[in-house]
Homo-oligomer: A and B are copies of this chain.
Amino acid sequence: MYLHHHPFCPHSRFVRLLLAEYGLEPELVEERVWERRPGFLALNPSGETPVIVEEMAASVPGAFIIAEYLDETRGLALGTHRLLPEDPAGRVEVRRLTQWFNEKMYVESTEPLVRERIHKRYMSREQGGGSPDATSLRMARANLRYHLKYIGWLAKARKWLAGERLSQADLAAAAHLSVADYLGDVPWDEDEHARDWYARIKSRPTFRALLTESIPGMPPSKTYADLDF
């Protein structure tokens, strides 16, 4: 299996965590989506990471569709560790939160953080590169506090974000936070429930590969790879 991804795309990180929890080890193919590589556009006309490709099967594009596909083709094998629960109401809640993090938190916070602080370093002027926009960053950081608070509120009331069991929703939230954490943008002091929950998920062996990623010339924050942050 191949995963077309970018190491600091939160949706790609979500899928890497998913695949690791399923015990799958994909070959990684790095995509810089702003280059609009024709071979990649043929796999996914929308031009966005992540995409998974299995031998003898069509490509599967996008976080939500990949999560559903993995549940349908490998979900039962996970037994009680299944990442989408069996009951319809439980599935609604997991999907609602997964979408909340992958769409709302992404648009309001992690997408601008990654764009301004990481992608722009690699983009040419024509592609939209240059120095970070201070207003975008300020708004993204303010929104991050609000999302951290929501995560803390969920983590206080429940064992995992969507209920009694680890689910896709935890992996989505953690994927987004991990990118912001690399950049040192998460105000961990502000919410101990969110921090305790993140410490638990970050200690899972499936998280380890993400914690070894780095950007040349831009070391991670002190909390990033520290399991006892």
Contact = CB atoms under 8 A, between A and B. Distances in A.
Given A68-B68, A88-B72, A96 B57 contact: no
B64 A91 contact: no
Number of copies: 2
A83 B73 CA distance: 19
A95 interface: yes
Contacts of A72: 88, 91
Interface of A: 45-46, 57-58, 60-62, 64-65, 68-69, 72-73, 88-89, 91-93, 95-96, 99-100, 104
Contacts of A61: 96
A89 B57 contact: yes
Contact of A92 (B45, B65, B92): B65
Given A100-B46, A104-B46, A91 B68 contact: yes
B99 A62 contact: yes
